[in-house]
């Protein structure tokens, strides 16, 4: 039956445990499974390849992204790594110039050395993606909204480019979460997630995921998932499965608080520039309205007249916002991309896309909005 989002978040992939009736999926803390005679088993042989707790999570993730198959990984980077293993020397990848730092690092420092070429374009401009396609292009990798400057790519329009040239099309949906956008419905072949962020939502697990519809592609990816072994353990799978049950409630609160924080910071005398796709003057606002259900809880600002020292002072002064890497948890975090999440990107490359020394990224949590605004007021001053 086609259930709606919240019902799927709470129930998909999960049934009461057949042996005990336990309503919540047990943590199957086992590496191996008894076989009646060799090859005669219940579908589980060895937990690197299959585990019942992980399977419940993967089925739930697949349902939330409107996909048929889900694969969970020990981190978002392990999920990315598994997709890149589909490539061969000489293949080309078109990707964004404003990527998560770890994605940039695995592309340029790991896979480039195996003869794979990465072409970086502004994915907000479909024309640039189309122009970059050559006969060697094999994959398009898009992140939207981007991190940290919250640019959007038109998922559907890029999907048409991918289909025309028969390219594999991956969307990193970490920032939006499946509550806000579903790339498979808009033409993506694979959705990638860092489940560490909104999916788990409580900043206590590192995990990644891939979700897709094509069975042949699923089998190829499952081969590398099992052969290379970047799969998560059952305890972490349980925690993410538990986190998913409130994804819709959390996302609504993140969006509501994100809007209040963005509105407070807009036109604030200490803020030179603000990035939040909900503003009608955001260059990609129209795309955001079309492909997202709301605008999310991520807000980035460039501080006015602040050098690195002053930026560090401000970033360290908050009481409710915690200075830390990562995002998407219930608690509000503040991050200095240039030295933290994006430290692995050369200065010139990051400044070209706006990751300047006085940029701060806020992951707005679900605390009381008034307390968040008061925290901002105390550090940045009144409007």
Ligand X SMILES: *Cc1c(COP(=O)(O)O)cnc(C)c1O
Active site residues: 48, 100, 172, 197
329 binds ligand X (CB under 6 A): no
Burial category of 312 from C-beta neighbours within 10 Å (exposed 0-12, middle 13-18, buried 19 and up)? middle
Report the nearest approach of ligand X to the CB of residue 122 (Å): 17
Task: Give Cα 132 distance to the centre of its chain.
Answer: 24
| CB nearer ligand X, residue 51 or residue 103 | 103
Q: What's the full length of the chain, in residues?
A: 383
Q: Strands across the sheet with 137-143, in order?
A: 69-73, 208-212, 190-194, 168-172, 137-143, 92-96, 117-121
**Minimum Å distance from CB 79 to ligand X?**
8
Instruction: Write down the least CB distance from residue 76 to ligand X, Å.
Output: 2
Q: Which of 123, 147, 335, 363 binds ligand X (CB under 6 A)?
A: 147
List the one residue out of 250, 256, 277, 255 whose CA is nearest residue 266: 277
143 lies in the site for ligand X, by CB under 6 A: yes
Residue closer to ligand X, measured from CB, 138 or 193: 193
Quote the CA–CA distance of 163 and 189 in Å, as a whole number.
10
Nearest to 236 by CA among 246, 228, 247, 244: 244
- Of 196, 200, 311, 363, the residue at the interface with ligand X (CB under 6 A) is 196
Tokens standing for 122?
């502004």
Does the protein bind ligand X through residue 241 (CB under 6 A)? no
Among the listed residues 144, 174, 291, 300, the single contact to ligand X using CB under 6 A: 174
Residue span binding ligand X (CB under 6 A) among the ranges 72-80, 211-219, 238-246, 250-258:
72-80
Question: Could you say which residues in the range 86-115 bind ligand X, by CB under 6 A?
Answer: 100, 102-103
Give the nearest distance from C-beta 201 to ligand X in angstroms. 13
Lookup result for tokens 């920032």: 175
Nearer to ligand X (CB atom), residue 211 or residue 271: 211
Distance CA 259, CA 265 (A): 10
Q: Which residues contact ligand X (rule: CB under 6 A)?
A: 75-77, 100, 102-103, 143, 147, 172, 174-175, 194, 196-197, 206, 208
């Amino acid at each position: 039956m086609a259930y709606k989002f919240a019902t799927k978040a709470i129930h998909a992939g999960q049934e009461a445990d057949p042996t005990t009736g336990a309503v919540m999926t047990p943590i199957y803390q086992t590496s191996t499974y008894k076989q009646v005679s060799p090859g005669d088993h219940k579908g589980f042989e060895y937990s690197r390849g299959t585990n019942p707790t992980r399977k419940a999570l993967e089925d739930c993730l697949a349902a939330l992204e409107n996909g048929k198959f889900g694969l969970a990984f020990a981190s978002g980077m392990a999920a990315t790594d598994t997709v890149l293993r589909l490539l061969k020397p000489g293949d080309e990848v078109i990707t964004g110039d404003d990527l998560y730092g770890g994605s940039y690092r695995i592309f340029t420092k790991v896979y480039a050395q195996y003869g794979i070429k990465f072409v970086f374009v502004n994915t907000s401009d479909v024309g640039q993606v189309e122009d970059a396609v050559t006969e060697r292009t094999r994959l398009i990798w898009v992140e939207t909204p981007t991190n940290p400057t919250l640019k959007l790519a038109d998922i559907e329009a890029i999907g048409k480019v991918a289909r025309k040239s028969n390219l594999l099309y991956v969307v990193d949906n970490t920032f939006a979460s499946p509550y806000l956008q579903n790339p498979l419905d808009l033409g993506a072949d694979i959705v990638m997630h860092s489940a560490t962020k909104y999916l788990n939502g409580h900043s206590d697990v590192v995990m990644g995921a891939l979700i897709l519809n094509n069975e042949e592609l699923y089998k190829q990816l499952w081969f590398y998932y099992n052969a290379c072994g970047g799969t998560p353990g059952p305890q972490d799978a349980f925690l993410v499965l538990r986190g998913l049950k409130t994804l819709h409630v959390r996302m609504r609160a993140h969006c509501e608080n994100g809007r209040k924080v963005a509105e407070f910071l807009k036109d604030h005398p200490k803020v030179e520039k603000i990035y939040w796709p909900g503003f009608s003057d955001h260059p990609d606002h129209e795309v955001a309205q079309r492909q997202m259900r709301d605008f999310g809880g991520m807000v980035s600002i460039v501080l006015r007249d602040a050098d690195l020292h002053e930026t560090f002072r401000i970033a360290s002064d908050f009481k409710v916002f915690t200075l830390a890497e990562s995002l998407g948890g219930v608690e509000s975090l503040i991050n200095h991309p240039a030295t933290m999440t994006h430290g692995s990107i050369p200065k010139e490359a990051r400044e070209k896309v706006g990751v300047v020394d006085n940029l701060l990224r806020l992951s707005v949590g679900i605390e009381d909005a008034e307390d968040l605004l008061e925290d901002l007021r105390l550090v940045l001053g009144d409007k």
